[in-house]
Amino acid sequence: MKYFVQILKHISVLERNVGAVCLTAVMVIICANVAYRVIGGIIPGTFDLVELLIVPAVGFALVTVELAKRHTIVDMVTTHLPTKVRLWVEICVTIIALFYWTAICWATCKMLLKKMATGEHTQLLQVSVIPFRVIWVFALVWLCGVIVLNIGKLFKEIGEQK
């Protein structure tokens, strides 16, 4: 299990770096477009590129945040609870998150299959959207796996409390 978690963390670092590169590219594209507008021009396709590059940035960020358990938690409430109650609250919230992200993943898979049949492309640049939808599905599946892992860790922690 320890090796699995280490592999998970290494892949997460790679994903985080890909997301950071995509987010940096979004920033450069937006800044270049704004600077070019100052002199009266416009860079065609910037919306298409930003729309595509934001997918890996957000998808991989979600996985990284869940793996590090750095998401928004109501610490003011949970820190004052007894340890066992706090762990059970975290388990309940994490299970709700699992159902939520599983539903999003399922709907995204269904949409991906529909869009693959039509061969969806961006409007201006005619870049295929399918690879980015696949990245989004991959990130969501990965996120659900990390959430299951975190639920297991919480149950283990409860077992150690007895």
Give the single-character DSSP code of 105: H
- In this structure, the number of other CB atoms found within 10 A of the CB of residue 133 comes to 20
Strand partners, 121: 128
Q: Left, alpha or beta for 48 (phi > 0: left; psi -120 to 50: alpha)?
A: alpha
User: What pLDDT was estimated at residue 156?
Assistant: 92
Residues 6+ apart with CB under 8 A from 109: 137
pLDDT tens, per residue, the chain with 162 residues: 788 778 888 888 899 999 999 999 999 999 999 999 999 888 899 999 999 999 999 999 988 888 887 766 666 778 888 989 989 998 998 999 999 999 999 999 999 999 999 988 988 889 999 999 999 999 999 999 999 999 999 999 999 886
Is the Cβ–Cβ distance between 161 and 85 less than 8 Å?
Answer: no
Q: How far is CA 64 from CA 54, 69, 152, in A?
A: 15, 8, 18
The continuous run of DSSP H or E covering 20 comes out as helix 2-38
Tokens of 112: 């991906």
Tokens of 58: 């957000």
CA–CA separation, 92 vs 158, rounded Å?
Answer: 13
Provide the whole-model pTM.
0.85
User: What pLDDT was estimated at residue 77?
Assistant: 75
